[in-house]
Amino acid sequence: MAQVIADRREIDFVLHEQFDVSRLSKYEKFSEFTRKTADMIISEARTLAIKEILPTLKIGDEIGCRYENGNVTVPAEFKRAWNQLIQGGWFAPCQNPEWGGQGMPRLLHVMAQNYLIGANMSLLMVAGLNQGAGHIIERFGSEEQKHLYLEKIYTGHWSGTMALTESECGSNLGDLSTAAVKNEDGSYSLTGNKIFISGGDHDMTDNIIHLVLARIQGAPEGSRGISLFVVPKFHVNEDGTLSERNDIVCTGIEEKMGLHGSPTCSMALGSNGRCTGTLVGEENKGLAMMFLMMNEARLMVGAQALSCASSAYLYALNYARTRIQGPPISGKDRASVAIIKHPDVRRMLLTMKCYTEGMRSLLGYIANLEDQKIVSDNNEEKERYQNLIEILTPVGKGYVTDRAVDVCNMAIQVFGGYGYTSEYPVEQLLRDVRITTIYEGTNGIQAMDLLGRKLQMKNMKLFFDLKDEIQKTVSEAREFDSLSALAGRVENALHTLCQAVEKMDQSARGEAVLQAYTFAGLLLEAAGDVIMAWMMLWRAIISQKKTDSGVEGKGAEFYDGQLKSAEFFIRSVLPVTLGKMVSMMDLCSAAIDISDTSFGGK
C-alpha cells in the first residue's frame, strides 16, 4: 500500500543507518531509547498521525478557526486530536521528564515530527509552541513560575505562546512598545497590543500561558530595554487551580493564505488596566533569552517545512504512479502510460525526492548534534557541535523552507489541473508551508544571520568546522570507484563555496557591505545546495556499502534510489549552484545604486 506523509524506510535510514540513534542509549540520559523503543515511538507517531491527525487536515483548512467576542474556537476534531497528543506525550518530547517531558533524543523527535506535522501543520503549530515556551520557563523562570506553569505546559494540558510581534515591529524587535510597570507585589502591569500571535487564543486547553516581550517603564531604548514576562490567560492559584481571568484578550484573528487551523491572533494587553504578569529572569534581558531559544524555534520551522515537503512528495509520487495520461515519448507502443513514465514528471519527482531526503538528513544531523552535545563530556567537542548547530541553523530554517515551498509547488505541477483543486491536499500544503519562509525571522533575516553573525563569529571558525565535516564525507566517498567522480564535483563546489564565503565575509566587513548583503540570500542558497550535496553523498556512501555487501530485492532498490538521488543532484543541480557563486562573487551593485525613484510606480 502507498505510504503517506513520510516514507518509513527513509525515516529508518536516517535514524539508524545514517545517525544510529540507538548508540545514544548507552548514555544514562537516553538509556531508555534503544533501537526497539525508537522504532516503537516512530510507529506510534506514524499511527497517531495517519489515524487521528490527518483526518483533521482538510477540516482545519475549510472550517478553520472562528473568532467571536474575544474567544477563538477550533473544530471539535482538533480538540480530540489535541487530547491524543496529550496521551502520547507529544507536547515536550525532548524536555525534562521531571516536569512532564519525555527526555527523548532530538533526532528521534525530528523524525516523529515529520509524521505529526506532515499530517496537519496547523494543529501541530499550536501544539508545537509548548516545548519552546516551557523551555524558557524551565531555563530562566523562577521556582514559582516553574511550579505554577511548567508541567501543565509540557504535558499539553495548557498551551504556550510567544508574544513578540507588534504592528510596527516585526523583524526589528528593538522598536517594541508594549509597556510594563512594576507593582508593589512584585508583579508587573502590562499594556500594549501584540499581533500575529500563533495560538493566542483557542478552546483546546483551559489556560494559555503567554510569554510576552515588553519594555519596563524607564528602561533603555532599543533592544537593550526589553524584558520577558509570563502572562497567563487565567491567573493560577498556588494549588494549580484557575483563578480570575487576566486582562489579555484576543481582539481578532487573521484571514490567511493557509494555516487556517492555527489561529493567528491580535492580542490586547491591559485594555481594562488589569493585565498582570511576572518577570522572567532579569529586567532588560528579555531579548537575549528569547534569542537563546531562537535556534530551537527556527529549527522547528524547518521541521514544519520538511514535513509539508515530505507529504507533498508522497502525494505526487502516488498520483504519478496511478494517473494514466499520454503515450511514452519514444518507442513503438502508443498506449497511454502512468505519468511516472514521462521524463518531465520523473525529473520533478527526483528533484522532490532529493530535496526531501537531503533536508531530512540535514535536520536529523542538526538534531543529532544537539543530542551529542548533551551526552558529550568533552568541552572542545561540545563547542564544535555548537558551532555546527549555529552555522547550520539559518540553513535549516531559511534554505529548507524555501526548498519546501518549491517541493510543494512542484507537487501541484505533477497533479496538473487536479493539483490546483482542493480535491487533493497539495494546494493546501503549498498554502500552509508558505508561512515558513516568513515567521521566526524571514528568510532575509536568516541570510543576514548567516552572513552577518554566524560567519563572523569566532573569525569564521564555525564555517571552517562545517567545511571539515563536509570534507570528511568527500574523502570517504573518494574511496569508492562508483562515487569518486561525484565526490570530486562536491569537493569542487565546496572549494568554490569557501572562496565565495571568504569574499562575502570580507565584503560584509568592508566597503562593499551593501553589495554583500544584497547577495546574502544567494549565499544562503549556495551554501544550502552544497550541504544538500554533502548529505546525498553521505547517503550514497552508506548505500554503496550496503549494495556492495550484497543486499537484494526491495532493499537493493531503496539503496539504488539513494545512489540515483546523489547522482542527479550533484550532476544536475550543483552546476547551477556554481553559477550562483559566480553571480555572487561579481557583487553587482545595481540594486544599491538604483535610486528609489527609478524603481518606478509613482
Known catalytic residues are 440
Q: Which is nearer to a second copy, 186 or 331 (CB)?
A: 331
Q: Which is nearer to a second copy, 156 or 170 (CB)?
A: 170
Q: Looking at residue 324, what DSSP letter applies?
A: B
User: Which residues, numbered 439-468, are part of the site for a second copy (CB under 8 A)?
Assistant: 439, 442-444, 447-448, 452
User: Which residues, numbered 297-316, are part of the site for a second copy (CB under 8 A)?
Assistant: 313-314
Query: Which of 275, 412, 490, 527 lies at the binding interface for a second copy (CB under 8 A)?
Result: 412
Q: Which is nearer to a second copy, 114 or 278 (CB)?
A: 114
Q: How far is the CB of 103 from a second copy (least distance, A)?
A: 31
Q: Which is nearer to a second copy, 344 or 468 (CB)?
A: 344
Query: Which of 93, 100, 160, 170 lies at the binding interface for a second copy (CB under 8 A)?
Result: 170
CA trace torsion 564, 566, 572, 573 (10° rounding): 140
The residues, ordered by sequence, that sit 6+ positions from 271 with a Cβ below 8 Å of its Cβ are 247, 249
Q: Looking at residue 450, what DSSP letter applies?
A: I
Does residue 177 interact with a second copy by CB under 8 A?
no
Q: Which residue has the cell 486530536?
A: 81
Nearest to 187 by CA among 145, 159, 249: 145
Query: Which of 50, 181, 288, 340 lies at the binding interface for a second copy (CB under 8 A)?
Result: 340
Segment contacting a second copy (CB under 8 A): 134-142, 212-220, 343-351, 544-552?
343-351
Does residue 178 interact with a second copy by CB under 8 A?
no
Does residue 332 interact with a second copy by CB under 8 A?
no
Judging by beta carbons within 10 Å of its beta carbon (0-12, 13-18, 19+), is residue 175 exposed, middle or buried? middle
Q: Which is nearer to a second copy, 154 or 517 (CB)?
A: 517
Q: Looking at residue 34, what DSSP letter applies?
A: -
Q: How far is the CB of 376 from a second copy (least distance, A)?
A: 34
Q: State the Cα–Cα distance between residues 201 and 233, nearest whole angstrom.
A: 9
Query: Which of 242, 374, 513, 542 lies at the binding interface for a second copy (CB under 8 A)?
Result: 513
Q: Which is nearer to a second copy, 164 or 388 (CB)?
A: 164
User: Which residues, numbered 185-244, are part of the site for a second copy (CB under 8 A)?
Assistant: 196, 222
Asked if 524 and 450 touch (Cβ cutoff 8 Å), the reply is: yes
Nearest to 233 by CA among 208, 204, 196, 269: 208
Q: How far is the CB of 206 from a second copy (least distance, A)?
A: 29
Does residue 561 interact with a second copy by CB under 8 A?
yes
User: Which residues, numbered 243-272, are part of the site for a second copy (CB under 8 A)?
Assistant: 254-258, 264
Does residue 488 interact with a second copy by CB under 8 A?
no
Segment contacting a second copy (CB under 8 A): 49-57, 135-143, 286-294, 406-414?
406-414
Q: For residue 392, give the amino acid letter.
A: L
Q: How far is the CB of 490 from a second copy (least distance, A)?
A: 15
Cα dihedral across residues 175, 176, 180, 181: positive or negative: positive
Does residue 397 interact with a second copy by CB under 8 A?
no
Cell numbers linked to 220: 533603555
Q: State the Cα–Cα distance between residues 268 and 93, nearest whole angstrom.
A: 32
Query: Which of 242, 438, 542, 551 lies at the binding interface for a second copy (CB under 8 A)?
Result: 438
Nearest to 168 by CA among 158, 160, 178: 178
Task: Kindly list the distances between the CA atom of residue 210 and the CA atoms of 206, 253, 442, in Å, as whole numbers in the listed order.
Answer: 13, 16, 22
Task: Kindly list the distances between the CA atom of residue 400 and the CA atoms of 218, 298, 459, 535, in Å, as whole numbers in the listed order.
Answer: 41, 11, 26, 13
Query: Which of 136, 317, 450, 532 lies at the binding interface for a second copy (CB under 8 A)?
Result: 317
Cell numbers linked to 34: 534503544
Query: Which of 71, 172, 459, 475 lies at the binding interface for a second copy (CB under 8 A)?
Result: 172
Count of residues engaged in binding a second copy, rule: CB under 8 A = 113
Q: Three-state SS for 322? A: helix
Q: State the Cα–Cα distance between residues 409 and 353, nearest whole angstrom.
A: 14
Segment contacting a second copy (CB under 8 A): 280-288, 297-305, 368-376, 410-418?
410-418
Q: Which is nearer to a second copy, 427 or 505 (CB)?
A: 427
User: Which residues, numbered 52-91, are part of the site for a second copy (CB under 8 A)?
Assistant: none
Q: How far is the CB of 330 from a second copy (least distance, A)?
A: 5
Q: Which is nearer to a second copy, 55 or 444 (CB)?
A: 444
User: Which residues, numbered 14-53, are part of the site for a second copy (CB under 8 A)?
Assistant: none
Q: How far is the CB of 582 from a second copy (least distance, A)?
A: 4
Does residue 586 interact with a second copy by CB under 8 A?
yes
Asked if 477 and 484 touch (Cβ cutoff 8 Å), the reply is: yes
Q: How far is the CB of 268 from a second copy (least distance, A)?
A: 18
Q: How far is the CB of 469 from a second copy (least distance, A)?
A: 25
At residue 329, φ and ψ (nearest 5 deg) are -60, -35
The residues, ordered by sequence, that sit 6+ positions from 184 with a Cβ below 8 Å of its Cβ are none
Q: Which is nearer to a second copy, 101 or 199 (CB)?
A: 199
Query: Which of 28, 420, 454, 548 lies at the binding interface for a second copy (CB under 8 A)?
Result: 420
Q: Three-state SS for 545? A: helix
265 has which bridge partners?
Answer: 197, 253
The residues, ordered by sequence, that sit 6+ positions from 101 with a Cβ below 8 Å of its Cβ are 92, 93, 94, 95, 134, 154
Does residue 564 interact with a second copy by CB under 8 A?
yes
Q: How far is the CB of 111 from a second copy (least distance, A)?
A: 15
For 527-538, b/e burial (b = at least 16 CB within 10 A) is: bbbbbbbbbbbb
Query: Which of 31, 43, 47, 171 lies at the binding interface for a second copy (CB under 8 A)?
Result: 171
Q: For residue 492, give the amino acid letter.
A: N
Query: Which of 251, 284, 413, 456 lies at the binding interface for a second copy (CB under 8 A)?
Result: 413
User: Which residues, numbered 517-536, are part of the site for a second copy (CB under 8 A)?
Assistant: 517-521
Does residue 336 interact with a second copy by CB under 8 A?
yes
Does residue 582 interact with a second copy by CB under 8 A?
yes
Cα dihedral across residues 109, 110, 113, 114: positive or negative: negative
213 has which bridge partners?
Answer: 228
Asked if 393 and 366 touch (Cβ cutoff 8 Å), the reply is: yes
